[in-house]
């Protein structure tokens, strides 16, 4: 594989800041008791932290579900789902280059908010991770609507071009990858 463009340190910091806000917004929207509830269920990685098979071409991000084993218990059967949000830096950077009105902070905020809504819905069994293509399409629509509901209420500089871009929700690419066994 040829060398893909990855975020620099400053861009990674921007993504981390956007992720913190997204976490808070989604926790509040779903009245999750504490943001730790959500934090224990997912991990977020940019391209530099991805295994080769977590890299995709086309989507801006993908979610992979892993089976994780609790280490804080003697019950060996105690496993739980851990969702990994895999940022595809190369595709996002390409988009930023082509669209000067789209900026990394609000763009990342949309992406992480969107993916966290998926994760909350999977975790709360509002949606099955494994679904037919039609079900996934319906779910995409619901998740985009919810993302707009949440982000529509806050004031973030340069967010409106991102919301406008995602109004054509079908232009959004993410991918939910079938479960992998890991850890």
Smaller CB distance to Zn ion: residue 50 or 116?
A: 116
- DSSP state letter for 142: H
DSSP 3-state helix, strand, coil percentages of the chain (rounded to 5)? Answer: 50, 15, 35
Nearest one of 129, 159, 151 to 42, comparing CA atoms: 129
User: Considering beta carbons, is residue 94 or 140 the nearer one to Zn ion?
Assistant: 140
Task: Decide: helix, strand or coil at residue 111.
Answer: helix
* Minimum gap (Å) between residue 144 Cβ and Zn ion: 7
Q: Which of 26, 62, 121, 174 binds Zn ion (CB under 5 A)?
A: 174
**In this structure, how many other beta carbons lie within 10 angstroms of the beta carbon of residue 59?**
18
The residue range among 42-50, 53-61, 151-159, 174-182 that interacts with Zn ion, by the rule CB under 5 A, is 174-182
Nearer to Zn ion, 45 or 79 (CB): 45
Binding residues for Zn ion, total number by CB under 5 A: 2
Minimum distance from CB of 70 to Zn ion (Å)? 28
Per-residue exposure over 116-152, b if at least 16 CB sit within 10 Å of its own CB, e if not: bbbbbbbbeeebebeeeeeebeebbeebbebbbebbe
Q: Which is nearer to Zn ion, 54 or 140 (CB)?
A: 140
Question: In the window 112-171, what residues touch Zn ion (CB under 5 A)?
Answer: 140
* Residues of the shown chain interacting with Zn ion in the complex, contacts defined by CB under 5 A: 140, 174
């Amino acid at each position: 594989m040829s060398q893909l463009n990855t975020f620099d340190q400053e861009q990674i910091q921007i993504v981390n800041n956007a992720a913190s806000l997204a976490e808070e917004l989604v926790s509040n929207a779903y009245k999750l008791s504490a943001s730790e509830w959500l934090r224990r269920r997912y991990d977020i990685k940019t391209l530099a932290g991805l295994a080769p098979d977590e890299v995709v071409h086309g989507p801006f991000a993908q979610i992979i579900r892993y089976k994780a084993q609790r280490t804080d218990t003697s019950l060996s059967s105690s496993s739980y789902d851990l969702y990994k949000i895999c940022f595809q830096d190369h595709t996002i950077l390409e988009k930023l280059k082509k669209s000067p009105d789209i900026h990394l902070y609000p763009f990342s905020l949309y992406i992480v908010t969107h993916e966290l809504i998926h994760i909350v819905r999977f975790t709360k069994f509002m949606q099955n991770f494994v679904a037919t293509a039609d079900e996934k399409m319906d779910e995409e629509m619901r998740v985009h609507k919810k993302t707009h509901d949440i982000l529509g209420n806050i004031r973030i500089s340069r967010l409106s071009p991102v919301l406008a871009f995602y109004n054509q929700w079908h232009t959004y690419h993410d991918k939910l990858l079938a479960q992998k066994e890991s850890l």
